[in-house]
Structures are given as structure tokens and as C-alpha cells.
Amino acid sequence: MGERVYHPPIVTVIGNWAASLRFKDFRLLWLSTLFYSLATGMEQVSVGWLIFELTGSEFMVGVGAAARMVPFFVLGMLSGAIADRWDRRTLLRIGTLGASAAALVMALLLLWGVATVWTIIALVLALGSAMAFTITVRQTFTYDIVGSGHALNGLALGAMAMQGGGIVGSLVSGAVIEFVGPGWQFLASAGAYLLSAAATLAIANPGRSLCTSAESVLQNLVGYARLMREHRLMIVLMALTATTEVLGFTHMTLLPVFAKEVLHVGPTGLGVMTAGRQAGGLLGLWLLAGLGATRRKGILTFATAIGFGVGLMAFSLTTNIYTFLVVLLFVNACAMAVDTLYKALMQDLVPDEERGRAMGTWVLSVGFAPVGHVGVGALAGAVGAPGALLINGAVLAGINIATVIGLPRIRRME
């Protein structure tokens, strides 16, 4: 009998981390995601800064952030139904090219000096519509390529690409806005979307649904009711995802306010802060990807969500950019990890032919974020940005503590 070789935990983590990258199609999808996030990372910095510069209103910053997320609620189920019916590779290209067109229009309006706060919000709404479709398709397409055994790893690596591109995009955006203006930044964003679409051209797997029935998209939408009836835990996961979006992820809305009025660091500092947020997400996803096909996803999800809430509360204690960045790193490590865990749990609940619906359900849940964006903007106007995050964090942690105690079945999900 051969001698058993001991692999230290860190070696196991590194091996697990790279599992999905052995699939060529996934590597191309990952590259496409990286370019896509480069564009969205630039936009997240510029939109908030532009609106705050034009209006000086925390509430309007919240409205601008909400505009990006409204399509997630409106189009969530529709995007899942479409993803279950057609070639996901083609859908991904169409959505990405649509985002490129919207970014190009935004660039031209800014360069010509005719953009207003409402034209900016309208185009952000268009960008959000494209994102609502492409996110659903990307999550389902990842599962198509890597299979259920590597699903958590593939989803985590895809989210890491979103964070990595976002870091570069955020840093570039802050500098570009300060030195040459936001119009050129949106022009670069449009180019990044084009590169994202180009990366999908060599993907061999079309990602077609396993659904072979002749039901229409409308019938597919009606199927959501059956999905909820047959998988009751999906309703709980929807509620938890929506709560996390409303109370947790909306902290990013207040970054321009912190940059200008609390930390006094300007647009370049805002770019660094946004990059720090992305870096935190990257850290959390790297750790999650290293877990591979881990069991006990349920308890891991709750522990991470509670940490997310506690981290938000810690923002009220920050007094300078350095402590703010440390807290931001921790908060977003928790944020992206719990977001990926929700997506994995939702897809694990359903058969393969309904995974598009499952991801449409996740997009619908994320679509409740506008309530949080507008709410946190109004709350910050009343009690200040640090106080708003203190309240949101306390409520988020409390809800998850109550759920982990009161619903042992979801806690035991694997």
C-alpha cells in the first residue's frame, strides 16, 4: 500500500480554487465577465459622482442607484424565462452589445455638454436593463459549462472576475473623471462592453436549456408559481436575498457622500474606495471558491450574512480613509460571499431544466434593491451617512440571527 500524501489545507484551497478554469468555455466566459465588470466598475464611480455634483442631494444619489436596479425587479422573471428557452450564448452577446450602445450614448451626451440628471438616470435605467438579462444568463451559463459538481466554484470565480474588473474600472474611472472628464470614461466603458461580447465568440457551448417542452414564454412565467409551490424554501431564500439587498448592498450608494462630505477625498478617493469595495468582494470570493463543493452551505450563508450586518455597523466608527477602507474590505468580502451562496442554494433546489427560473428568481429578489437605495439615501439625509449604515447593519444582523434560530431546515441546507 502506498504512503498517503498529506496536502496542507492551503494546497487544497488553491487546488479547489482553480477547478472550473480547466473548462475552456468557462475561461472565455470568465474573460467576458472581466471586461463586462471593467465597464460597470467605471460606471459605478461616475454615475454617483455625477449626480451628487449636479444635485448635491443624497436622495438623488439613491434615486440614481435605484434606477440601475429597477429593471432587476421588473425583468427578473422574464429574464429567467427567456434564459430557459433560447441559446444563452447569443442572449449574452445581445445584452452586452445593448449595454455598449447605452454607454456610448451617455458618452456623447456628456462630451457634447447636454446631459442632465434625468438623461443620466434614463441611461442608467437602460444599462440596468441590459445587466438584468446578462446576469441571469451568465449564472445559468456557468452551470451549463461546469456542471453541478463545480457550480459553487464556477459561480465564485465568475463573481471574482466581476470584482477584479471592477477594481481596475473604479481606479481608472476616478482618475479619468478628475483629469479628462466623465464623457471619456463612458467612451472607455462602451469599448470594454464590446471586448466582453467579443470574448464570447469562441465559446463552443451554446448553453441551450434542457427544457424540451413547447411551452411559451408566458407559460414559462406561469411556471414560477409552480416552482414556488414545489420548492417552498425558494420563497425563504428570495426573502433573505431581497432583505440583504435592501439593507446591505445599498451601502455602496453612500460612497460618494462619504467621499465628499465625511472623508473629504474627492473623485480620486472615491475611485480608491470603490476599488477597495471590489477588492473586499474579491477576497471573500477567493475564500469561497477555495471551499469547492463544501457541505453545510446553509449555516455558512447565515454566518456570513450576520458578519455583513456587523460590518455595516462598524462604518459609524470610522474616522479616516484608512479605517474606512479596512471596514469596506470586510463588509464586501461578506457581501459577495453571501450573494454567491444564495445563488448556489437556489440552483441546488431545482432540476436542471428550471435553473433559468431559479436565477430569474434571484434577479427578481435583487430587484428590491431600489427600495433600499432610495431608503438609505433618505435615511442618510435625516441622520447622516454613518448613522444610516449603523441602522441598516443592526437590522440585517438581527433578521439573520432570528432566521437561523427559527428556521433550522434552511440552516441545514447543503
Asked whether residue 10 carries a pLDDT value surpassing 50, the answer given is no
Specify if 2 maps to a domain: no
Q: Region 106-117: what's the mean pLDDT? A: 92
Specify if 57 maps to a domain: yes
pLDDT at 9: 43
Specify if 170 maps to a domain: yes
What cell was used for 35? 471586461
pLDDT-based confidence at residue 209 (cuts at 50, 70, 90)? low
Instruction: Report the domain count for the chain.
Output: 1
What sign for the dihedral angle of Cα 327, 50, 159, 83?
positive
Exposure string (b/e) for 236-273, b if CB count within 10 Å is 16 or more?
bbbebbbbbbbbbbbbbbbbbbbbbebbebebbbbbbb
Note down the domain range covering 256: 12-411
CATH (domain of 146):
1.20.1250.20
Of residues 68 and 79, more confidently modeled: 68
pLDDT at 316: 82
Specify if 3 maps to a domain: no
What sign for the dihedral angle of Cα 317, 319, 323, 325?
positive
First-residue to last-residue Cα distance in the chain: 34
Q: What is the DSSP letter of 406?
A: H
pLDDT at 411: 64
Specify if 4 maps to a domain: no
Asked whether residue 4 carries a pLDDT value surpassing 60, the answer given is no
Asked whether residue 2 carries a pLDDT value surpassing 50, the answer given is no
Specify if 384 maps to a domain: yes
Q: Region 120-127: what's the mean pLDDT? A: 92
pLDDT at 403: 86
> What whole-number distance in Å separates Cα of residue 329 and Cα of residue 337?
12
Asked whether residue 197 carries a pLDDT value surpassing 90, the answer given is yes
What cell was used for 339? 450573494
Beta strands in 44-149, from DSSP E residues, in sequence order: none
pLDDT-based confidence at residue 219 (cuts at 50, 70, 90)? low
Asked whether residue 80 carries a pLDDT value surpassing 70, the answer given is no
> What whole-number distance in Å separates Cα of residue 76 and Cα of residue 136?
8
Specify if 33 maps to a domain: yes
171: amino acid identity, one letter: L
The highest-confidence range among 94-98, 133-137, 357-361, 367-371, by mean pLDDT, is 94-98
pLDDT-based confidence at residue 140 (cuts at 50, 70, 90)? confident
Specify if 210 maps to a domain: yes
Q: 234-282: per-residue pLDDT in tens?
A: 888 888 988 998 899 888 888 888 888 888 887 788 888 888 888 898 8
Q: Region 32-47: what's the mean pLDDT? A: 89
pLDDT at 272: 86
Q: 353-398: per-residue pLDDT in tens?
A: 666 667 777 777 777 777 887 888 889 888 888 899 999 999 999 9
Q: Region 35-52: what's the mean pLDDT? A: 87
The pTM of this model reads 0.70
